[in-house]
Amino acid sequence: MPLVVTGTVGIDTIHTPSANVEGVAGGSAAYFAAAASMLGPVRLVAAVGGDWPDEHRRVLTGFPNVCAKGLEVRPGSRTFAWGGRYFDNLNRRETLFTELGVLEEAPPPVPAEYADSRYVFLANTHPAVQRQLLAGFPNRALAVADTMDLWINVARKDLLALFEELDGVILNDEEATLLTEIPNAVSAARAIVEMGPNFVVVKKGEHGAVLVHSEGVATVPAFPAQLDRVVDPTGAGDTFAGGMMAHIAKSDRTDFETLQSALAWGTVMASHTIEAFGLDGIRAIDDGDLNTRLEEFRRAARIA
Amino acid sequence: MPLVVTGTVGIDTIHTPSANVEGVAGGSAAYFAAAASMLGPVRLVAAVGGDWPDEHRRVLTGFPNVCAKGLEVRPGSRTFAWGGRYFDNLNRRETLFTELGVLEEAPPPVPAEYADSRYVFLANTHPAVQRQLLAGFPNRALAVADTMDLWINVARKDLLALFEELDGVILNDEEATLLTEIPNAVSAARAIVEMGPNFVVVKKGEHGAVLVHSEGVATVPAFPAQLDRVVDPTGAGDTFAGGMMAHIAKSDRTDFETLQSALAWGTVMASHTIEAFGLDGIRAIDDGDLNTRLEEFRRAARIA
């Protein structure tokens, strides 16, 4: 069933201890769409400026299942740009710069032909914008949103208004604690469920993820990769969400068991993302790679 | 098959954000033995001083499967005592005081009747002492040791000599990184396996544990408890080891799959430990509690 993602398509500059890359394709919606496309079709709603490189378009539309009709190009505007630097252990990073560009303008319009979208993911952007975009999908079966520390700090009221309209929220452990002041993933997620959504997924990076749902709790470790396989963690969270939502859309089910399986698909997707810079990790996925890695993950995480 | 633990039996003082307890039964070997006794018989080798409270003896021997013939009382000596304070989120603690007492003296003798022990756990103490104790178990099928940051810092040579005689090492993530300078559990464990043991278990507290073994990697999340169920984390790691080793001894197998199952038993045991102060969490385990919680854990950690 149709899956759509709204969010940012941007130009990234990434410094890691081993290498630097400049001007690569990035943005929350781009990462999400690339990952989701590995499991099925995905529609993309985002805006870029006139400076958006042709090469980035080729990268993005090179993922056969990505529909980019909802990608608006604004010739007189600038594309969102982000630069970040990872520290030695690749777990922590600092933002070097953020150029909002089109993100300071009106959100992109949702194409009329996307109105039948059933599964909706609102990748990270201002919660008031996310809420506005959500209204473009009246036939949705499930709506999930990501957020970030900035909006928790400066737009909490908008965020809480958004939460009341969502089925699910996905955020990382630091954000969950910032939002609730509770330093425990399960307890924090439980408190967020009280704010409206039916479920909350807390991403814990190299420590996996937790799902707190009205029908139960699920927990998943990260794929047990060695550090020498981690090249660039950028987009791990967005591709986790992409794998998760694409599995849900493909299953066309929203029950607890489907969400639990979706955590594993998200984990496998993120494990590919971090093995190369930018979208290259997802691009490198071949037929059978995902099933092979899911099987490997099942073996490693099996409880007999 | 016979399981034995060597290590400390001590007197603990514990401060948490919610309460303080003074002079309760503790020590690595006591926690281990209490937990292991929930799955089968366990032999205890340790020394205490003349100040060891009768009440502590009653607590320890109140676990029906604990054999305390290897517990030596030294009337003229003092029992090991430890005091610690947990910070708000219960993930971090500081040591308030350590009184070594009997730990500064010769290690306890291994009773001759323990020489047929097949499964040996050397709970945390000086690695030269652990090595000396290990020699008391010539018929062992599997020997595993815990350690701590102190010995990594001040007795690395003894520790490496010990590792060469072990089948397995268990330590927490900070210790694994301290030992190897590698900030990733799987990579650090891999490096420790290169030092001699056949497998390494890295405990990650609320993030679960990882097993790196010559035959594969296994990863297990923590039991997804809410913060309001966490009363006192003291002994979580020792009881994790107790549940793990007792499952191995009960199975009388040392293959990868048995170790992987053992991680789950360790997790379940630790989840009980943290629900009350000192040994009270283990003491409160009733018939069926462990199987019920293991089933709950399996459901939460299932990858469909």
Given this model, what pLDDT does residue A74 score?
98
Question: Which pair of structure tokens corresponds to residue B121?
Answer: 């756990």
Provide the number of CB pairs (under 8 Å) joining chain A to chain B.
110
Give residue A33's pLDDT. 98
pLDDT at B71: 98
Per-residue pLDDT tens digits for B29-40: 999 999 999 999
Residue A6 exposed, middle or buried by CB count within 10 Å (0-12, 13-18, 19+)? buried
Look at residue B201 and give its three-state secondary structure: strand
Chain A CB contacts of B172 under 8 Å are none
Task: Beginning with the edge strand found earlier in the chain, give each strand of the sheet holding A93-99 in spatial order.
Answer: A20-26, A10-15, A80-86, A93-99
A13 vs A80: CA distance, rounded Å: 12
At residue A226 the predicted structure's pLDDT band, cuts being 50, 70 and 90, is confident
Q: Tell me the C-alpha distance between B303 and B293, whole Å.
A: 17
Average pLDDT over residues A151-169: 97
Does residue A146 contact residue A152 with C-beta atoms inside 8 Å?
no
Measured distance CA(B247)–CA(B259) in Å, rounded: 8
pLDDT at B229: 85
Gap between the Cα atoms of B233 and A238, Å rounded: 33
pLDDT in tens, B141-157: 999 999 999 999 999 99
| pLDDT tens-digit readout, B254-295 | 999 999 999 999 999 999 999 999 999 999 999 899 999 999
Given pLDDT bands bounded at 50, 70 and 90, which one contains residue B228? confident
Q: What is the pLDDT of residues B51-79, one digit of tens each?
A: 999 999 999 999 999 999 999 999 999 99
CA–CA separation, B121 and B147 (whole Å): 11
| Interaxial angle between packed helices B28-36 and B54-61, expressed in degrees from 0 to 180 and rounded to the nearest 10 | 30
Q: Is the pLDDT of residue B91 over 80?
A: no
Residue B236 pLDDT level (bands cut at 50, 70, 90): very high
Residues of chain B in contact with residue A300, where contact means CB-CB under 8 angstroms, are: 216-219
Residues of B in contact with A290 (CB under 8 A): none
Measured between alpha carbons, how far is B187 from B212 in angstroms, rounded to an integer?
Answer: 9
Which ranges in chain B belong to alpha helices (H)? 28-36, 54-61, 127-134, 149-154, 156-163, 173-180, 185-193, 236-251, 256-273, 280-283, 289-301
Contacts of A74 (CB under 8 A, 6+ apart): A47, A48, A49, A50, A102, A105
User: How far is A128 from A114, CA to CA, in rounded Å?
Assistant: 20
Under the banding of pLDDT at 50, 70 and 90, the label for residue B173 is: very high
Asked if A303 and B302 come within 8 Å (Cβ–Cβ), the reply is: yes
Percent residues over pLDDT 70 in chain A: 100
CA–CA min distance B206, chain A (Å): 9
Q: Do B292 and A287 form a contact (C-beta atoms < 8 A)?
A: no
With cut-offs at 50, 70 and 90, classify the pLDDT of residue A91: confident
- C-alpha torsion sign, points A13, A15, A21, A26: negative
* DSSP for residue B170: E
* Three-class secondary structure assignment of chain A: CCEEEECCCEEEEEECCCCEEEEEEECHHHHHHHHHCCCCCEEEEEEEECCCCHHHHHHHHCCCCEEEEEEEEECCCCCEEEEEEECCCCCCEEEEEEECHHHHCCCCCCCHHHCCCCEEEECCCCHHHHHHHHCCCCCCCEEEEECCHHHHHHCHHHHHHHHCCCCEEEEEHHHHHHHHCCCCHHHHHHHHHCCCCCEEEEECHHHCEEEEECCEEEEECCCCCCHHHCCCCCCHHHHHHHHHHHHHHHHCCCCHHHHHHHHHHHHHHHHHHCCCCCCHHHHCCCCCHHHHHHHHHHHHHCCC
User: What is the architecture of the domain spanning B3-301?
Assistant: 3-Layer(aba) Sandwich (3.40)
Report long-range pairs for B126-130 (Cβ below 8 Å, ≥24 apart). B126/B151, B126/B155, B126/B158, B127/B151, B127/B155, B127/B158, B127/B159, B127/B161, B127/B162, B128/B155, B128/B158, B128/B162, B130/B6, B130/B162
B140 in helix, strand or coil? coil
- Give residues with Cβ within 8 angstroms of B160, minimum separation 6: B195, B196
Q: CA Rg, chain A, in Å?
A: 18
Please tell me which of the candidates A190, A219, A299 has its beta carbon nearest to residue B226.
Answer: A190
Average pLDDT, chain B: 95
pLDDT score for A188 = 96
Q: How confident is the model over A82-92, as a mean pLDDT?
A: 88
What is the dihedral sign for C-alpha A241, A244, A246, A252?
Answer: negative
Phi, psi values for residue B65, rounded to 5°: -90, 5
Q: Is the pLDDT of residue B134 over 90?
A: yes
The ipTM (two decimal places) reads: 0.89
Q: Which two tokens stand for residue B262?
A: 């053992």
Q: How far is B297 from chain A (nearest CA, A)?
A: 9
> What are residue B82's DSSP bridge partners?
B12, B98
A193-207, A222-236, B116-130: segment of lowest average pLDDT: A222-236
Q: Is the pLDDT of residue A48 over 90?
A: yes
C-alpha distance from B43 to closest chain A C-alpha (Å): 27
Class of domain A3-170+226-287: alpha beta
Mutation site, A199, A217, A251, A303, interface B, largest B CB count within 10 A: A303
Task: Say yes or no to pLDDT of B89 above 80.
Answer: no
User: Does A219 contact B300 at a Cβ distance shorter than 8 Å?
Assistant: yes
Say if CB A221 and CB A301 are below 8 A apart: yes
Is the pLDDT assigned to residue A90 strictly greater than 90? no
Query: What pTM, to 2 d.p., does this model score?
Result: 0.93
Instruction: Judge residue A40's burial from the number of C-beta atoms within 10 Å of its C-beta, 0-12 exposed, 13-18 middle, 19 or more buried.
Output: middle
Domain parsing of chain A, residue ranges:
3-170+226-287
Structure confidence by residue, pLDDT tens digits, A114-136: 999 999 999 999 999 999 999 99
Question: What pLDDT, on a 0 to 100 scale, did the predictor assign at position A193?
Answer: 97
B187 in reach of chain A (CB within 8 A): yes
Q: Do A303 and B264 touch (CB under 8 A)?
A: yes
Return the amino acid letter for B239. Answer: T
Nearest CA-CA partner of B280 in B7, B17, B25, B13: B25
